[in-house]
Amino acid sequence: MLSRMQRIQAVFLGRTRKRIFAPAFLRRITVAALCGMLFPLTAPYLAAESPVSRHGATDPAVTAQTAAPAFAYRHIPGERLVYRLDYSSSSVSDFQVLFEGTDSHGTSGEVIQSGLSQSFNTTVQGELAITVLDRKADRVLTSYRLLGPQVTLVANGQEALSQAETIRAALSQAIFAEVSSRGRVLSVRFDPAIDNFSQNFARALLAPTQFVLPDRQATGAHQWEVQEDDPNGQYVARYEAEFFSREQGSRESQTGLKTFRKTKVRYLTPHQKTRPGKLQVSTTIKPEGSLVARFDVGGGHLYSFRGTEGQIIIMAGKTVARAQTTLRLEFRRKERLSVEELAEMRNASVARNMVARAVPLSATISKQEREAIIQRSELGEETLESLVAQLAKAQPEGKRRDTPLYLKFKALVYLHPETSSSLAKLLYTAHPQSLTMRILVGALSAAGHPQAQEALVNVIRARPNDSPALLTLVKGLGSVESPTMVSEKTLRDLAANAPDWDLATTAQLALGTMARNLADTSPERANKIVEWVVSEINSSTSEDRTRLLLLVLGNAGSIQSLPTITRFVADPSPAVRSTAVLALRWIQSSKADLLLTKALSSDPDPAVRLEATFALSFREPTPTTFQVQKRAFLGNEAVMVRLAALENLWNVHKSFPEVRQLVKQSATNDPSEEVRKAAAEIMAMYPKDYFDE
């Protein structure tokens, strides 16, 4: 009985931490690579004015060296500056590397629901026109428009003609922006008819290569740092004056141009609120390269901006995406609007204010739009008919999995919910262990919309006595992010009336997962599921039944269940204590931390201590939980507990740098051969000097 429960537990929890990469998180980063990293463009009036300290907090002080002539932007209403723009960008992203050396099964137990690989290449050419419409105090109303734009977009080797044309049309229209007197973009307003993807593209064009003037208190500085933002978030940029020979300096003085180099120093890491079951993967955006700007001091405007810069995205210590942009912006001419033209543009801005909300450059497109962009790219020109034909061809080959085909089916279901019923018909007769069953159930559960859930429910009802097929279907239905009432009722019925034990327990565990997914959107439904489980535990007379129900509460991760779980953490049976300790992993409470650290420090059974260590791997570390795990690793513990503690410690080494030395010492001096080997494997993934810092 115990081994059977452990198999069920493994299906729903995953026994290695590396398996807990949330697909939604990967999707968000993929689109950041698409919409934030890849399409930066300069806009000479755009700048962030707030200087920052080395720690990233806003600071009134500015890094300054020797004095230099003061300069400033001139914002004259009715004046338009026109620049020649040549821009190119290339990027690649590959999230498959996150799963190297790990089990490739996802939450449905079948195929990875992430691991997208993408490449993008873009070029933009034309004339960038920047018009000052009005100025009040330290606020400037500005219009941006690309004249005669030429846009190319190549996604995954295929030229995206329609998307490029949509973007070109969007850039041809006026984008109204409110900026500060020193150039910081406070907000932008788009024509509401422009789609979200093109809006994000345009924000990325306006944001990344801003030329930022120093604060008023340091207008003569040779060097300064400021905080800016783009669709990737906030970053610190450093500006440094370029010094030349006496002859070159004299030539600069005659032309009235001053040269500066801009370098992005670092991206700031925003605080991210976590919820039970949604682990955040350690992510870093590393900027590279620099841009050289020439500023016309007499004219009060940017004269040119040239250079190459890029970004590298690192997740869990692995490089998953790279992007590089090359920019050339040259001043061409200055124009003056007539009184009538200026009045017309101001009226257009007022009209835009009435129909479009103001958004910052760091605004991101919605989760739904991000997902649609990815799925459109994944599906390409495939149709229901073409994919079904490919599946029929792949079936006789006896493949256990086919991730590319699965991803295309997932994209099909997401973009075309009406196809769900057609896929259900294929599942009515599919063999339980077939590729068709694995791919289609995975695609329907990953899409998770009501039509996909209805399809899964219909197949479950059509195969009431086929337990092998029902096990796969129930796992899929239990993993959907937004369960419908019908889906919940279906699992409740199976949990109570399934024809065999395996199916009943699987449905019960799936209900726990469903409760966790409902916690944010329908807390009352989630609470009712937890109340049912607690009631069942209170009436349980079997240790195996109690342990199963504790696993269900563990999947739910509800603080409502904490009193019940706490009772069993002190149970005389080590097996029950182990399960109760594991059930604490997603409960957001300091008391859960206390119970886990106490179990790890003092429970007499090593199996309980091992589960406590594993449960801690799901939780945000605190100084206390870190120290307890450190003592467990350094103490006279069972090897399996020490190995689990080592993995946990390394996963938080950026927050606790002392772990590097701990790993280095353990790789050579630890008395356990297994620990030495594990520490050496960690060191092999990084440069040697990484452990000397």
Which CATH architecture does the domain made up of 523-612 adopt?
Alpha Horseshoe (1.25)
List, in sequence order, every residue forming a beta bridge with 257; answer none if it has no partner: 296
Q: Of the candidates 482, 472, 478, 502, which has an alpha carbon nearest to the alpha carbon of residue 490? A: 478
Q: How far apart are CA 548 and CA 679, in angstroms?
A: 35
**pLDDT at res. 32:** 36
**pLDDT at res. 374:** 77
Give pLDDT < 50 ranges for the chain: 1-69, 101-115
**pLDDT at res. 60:** 35
Q: Report H helices in 448-500.
A: 450-462, 467-478, 485-497
Superfamily name with CATH number, domain 19-374: Lipovitellin; beta-sheet shell regions, chain A (2.30.230.10)
**pLDDT at res. 195:** 86
Contacts of 48 (CB under 8 A, 6+ apart): 183, 184, 185, 210, 212, 226, 227, 228, 229, 237
- C-alpha dihedral, 168 to 174 to 175 to 179, nearest 10°: 140
**pLDDT at res. 395:** 81
Q: How far apart are CA 41 and CA 145, in angstroms?
A: 13
**pLDDT at res. 245:** 65
**pLDDT at res. 264:** 93
Q: Of the candidates 170, 182, 181, which has an alpha carbon nearest to the alpha carbon of residue 145? A: 170
The pair of three-digit structure tokens given for residue 358, joined into one six-digit string: 């103001």
